[in-house]
């Protein structure tokens, strides 16, 4: 007779592991989920880098040098990771995993997709209202909406973050960060 709380009694072999919703063993599901997560995140980062690359090509050569130099190692890392994923591609059921995520059954993939959504939201807010207002709003939304922190802590951390970014870039490096389309519109620029 075995005790249900005994770890030795409840531990089974990989062959006797129960099948999950997809009909695979839990280790197979975990491996396929991780590979799908890597593919989704690599695609997201690759698209962002590609957009940044084409945007940097529109700058004057002096201004585009820094973003292009920063992107070279990122592109190399993306290529190495893509090669690694390509070798293991048969372990992934990307369409099935994304379908599971959209149905709410793949929590890890949902977290990565939510993270990508937050990053897209940050980018959109920076384009619309600039780095300082966008970062402040992003910090407030993340701390209040997701972390459920108090207003005092939320405002304090958000203000400290924006102040640190201001001091590092504007004072330390003498680099004026993007002010946003709204600010540019108020200054008389008609970007669109």
Band (pLDDT 50/70/90 cuts) for residue 11 is very low
Asked whether residue 66 carries a pLDDT value surpassing 80, the answer given is: no
CB 18 within 8 A of CB 94: no
The per-residue pLDDT for range 74-91, each reduced to its tens digit, is 888 889 988 988 888 777
CB 1 within 8 A of CB 12: no
Which carries the bigger pLDDT value, residue 67 or residue 120? 120
Mean pLDDT (the chain) is: 80
Could you give the angle at which helices 26-57 and 94-102 cross, rounded to 10 degrees? 90
**CA atoms of 141 and 128, how far apart (whole Å):** 16
Question: What's the confidence (pLDDT) of residue 13?
Answer: 42
Asked whether residue 98 carries a pLDDT value surpassing 50, the answer given is: yes
The per-residue pLDDT for range 148-190, each reduced to its tens digit, is 999 999 999 999 999 999 999 889 888 888 889 998 888 888 7
> In terms of pTM, does the model score above 0.85?
no
Which carries the bigger pLDDT value, residue 53 or residue 136? 136
Question: What's the confidence (pLDDT) of residue 80?
Answer: 92
Band (pLDDT 50/70/90 cuts) for residue 69 is confident
**CA atoms of 75 and 48, how far apart (whole Å):** 11
Instruction: Give me the residue label for tokens 């924006």.
Output: 162
Beta-carbon count within 10 A of 155 CB = 16
Asked whether residue 118 carries a pLDDT value surpassing 60, the answer given is: yes
Asked whether residue 39 carries a pLDDT value surpassing 90, the answer given is: no
The per-residue pLDDT for range 168-179, each reduced to its tens digit, is 988 988 888 888
Asked whether residue 9 carries a pLDDT value surpassing 60, the answer given is: no
Terminal-residue alpha carbon distance, the chain? 76
Question: What's the confidence (pLDDT) of residue 24?
Answer: 55
**CA atoms of 169 and 175, how far apart (whole Å):** 5
Q: Which residues contact 5 (CB under 8 A, 6 or more apart)?
A: none
* pLDDT (mean) for 1-30: 52
Element (H, E) at 110: helix 107-140
**CA atoms of 161 and 81, how far apart (whole Å):** 32
Question: What's the confidence (pLDDT) of residue 126?
Answer: 93
Question: What's the confidence (pLDDT) of residue 26?
Answer: 67
For the chain, the structural domain boundaries read 22-105, 113-192
CB 33 within 8 A of CB 97: yes
Question: What's the confidence (pLDDT) of residue 37?
Answer: 80
**CA atoms of 24 and 15, how far apart (whole Å):** 11
**CA atoms of 111 and 116, how far apart (whole Å):** 9
């Amino acid at each position: 007779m075995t005790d249900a709380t005994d770890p030795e009694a409840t531990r089974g072999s990989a062959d006797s592991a129960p099948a999950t919703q997809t009909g695979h063993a839990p280790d197979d599901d975990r491996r396929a989920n991780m590979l799908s997560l890597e593919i989704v995140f690599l695609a997201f980062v690759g698209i962002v880098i590609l957009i940044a690359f084409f945007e940097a090509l529109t700058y004057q050569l002096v201004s585009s040098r820094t973003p292009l130099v920063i992107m070279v190692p990122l592109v190399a890392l993306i290529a190495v990771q893509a090669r690694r994923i390509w070798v293991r591609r048969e372990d992934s059921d990307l369409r099935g995993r994304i379908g599971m995520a959209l149905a709410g059954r793949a929590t890890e993939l949902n977290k990565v997709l939510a993270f990508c959504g937050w990053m897209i939201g940050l980018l959109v807010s920076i384009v619309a209202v600039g780095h300082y207002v966008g970062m402040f709003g992003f910090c407030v939304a993340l701390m209040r909406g997701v972390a459920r922190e108090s207003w005092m802590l939320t405002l304090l951390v958000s203000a400290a973050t924006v102040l640190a970014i201001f001091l590092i870039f504007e004072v330390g490096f003498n680099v004026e960060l993007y002010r946003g389309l709204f600010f540019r519109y108020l200054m008389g620029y008609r970007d669109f």
